[in-house]
A and B are shown apart, each in its own frame.
Chain A
């Protein structure tokens, strides 16, 4: 399924947070969302999975307008990983990942082999299988993040939305997770801060500034020195990397 966002606006009270944003993600591709803090990335992600209601505009998943889908239907297709999410309950890693199967389980349906398989695979993919019995409260920030991602994978989604999933991760896991996402083949939108990671792993990029799209397209077209200076307020030198073939940004400090 592809994702189409058509002139979507969202406001909280009097403040406009997302202003007439139009974007498209092709089926199976990864879109990286970039932008400084407060540019509306998180809100946009929440609009796509209908955690917030858009004031105007349309969002389509494949052929379906999201406003026509029931919450349960939506949850069976779209998985969302928040920036930070904590709990006091004494859950184990496996318990948390199992929560991801909620949209697929009716009230009276019992736990089945398909559910088991989804959970185990998700744990394997984020590298937390051996720690499945550990309590959530004993995990580090990065480990918790990986477990949340596993939960979203256990949802067997056709669209995946991640809000800064690599924030607390060490470099090895940052690369692992993003590599995983890029190889999954699920249509994904990932909000990122790191421009280089975005260049390495995303199929297309979109840059938000103050709730509006100021640049979108292939990474090599979007990541220009001019745009970086204008939107992010830093000087940079952009060139194609000899190592991995994607663009690489070097920051210029005075």
Chain B
């Protein structure tokens, strides 16, 4: 009797073990990432993550303990990951060197931007890492329908959508065999996006003209404005507003004559910790808008329709969802959502 019970327990146990393994990743796994096939023999154990957006996705998937080094930080990490992040070695605030990355002996290098790891990568080419047996994974948001050959922010040929981020999450969770976490994260983000859109349901179709002002090298001069297919453009499309800029460059330099002519109803102003240009400071941007003889006549400025948004939400990352929420709240508060 005891023998039968033991066998049945073993059988149930085995069945129980078998059930979750149906959703588990089957290795070796080959995925096509930015036009190149990348093969994983097993879940990577040591990652170097280049790009704050990429790093925060990895944190969100609970993979902090596998990260041995990070680089390229635009601002402070999302607060919920601050503690985990403090234990991880930061290789550089800006571009790390190739040697410092491989010195960590990673089996995966994950990069947010092709200009760090790519054909003209400042850190290295994908082949250079492959020669050393290191896999590379690039964020789909930076290579799908995006041309990065000019060395600048690049030109986006198709509108960015959050699907590219969801693709990144899905692929990463498959690589690391954490599919449930990936699915849960995607579901959560999608719900937040839907909630934000619903909160200003009246505004869709309103076609509000909006401009996203990142910064300017000289506050009086031409401004870095979000292009037609950038992450901010996606924010606007989701909400139903209209980007006044029509170039496909990611962050084109636009003159104030052009912006003034478009007479935006809402101006989204980037906030950031960096103070490299005087115009990085949102207060400086608002000062300019309110005092310049042309911009102070703009609809958005006369009615003080300014939305302060963290600059990182303007990048194609999971924080774009924050951006949608911030802008939606702003539009609602201006009473423009009826």
Give yes or no for direct A-B contact (beta carbon below 8 Å). no
> Which residues of B come within 8 Å of A, CB atoms?
none
> Which residues of A come within 8 Å of B, CB atoms?
none
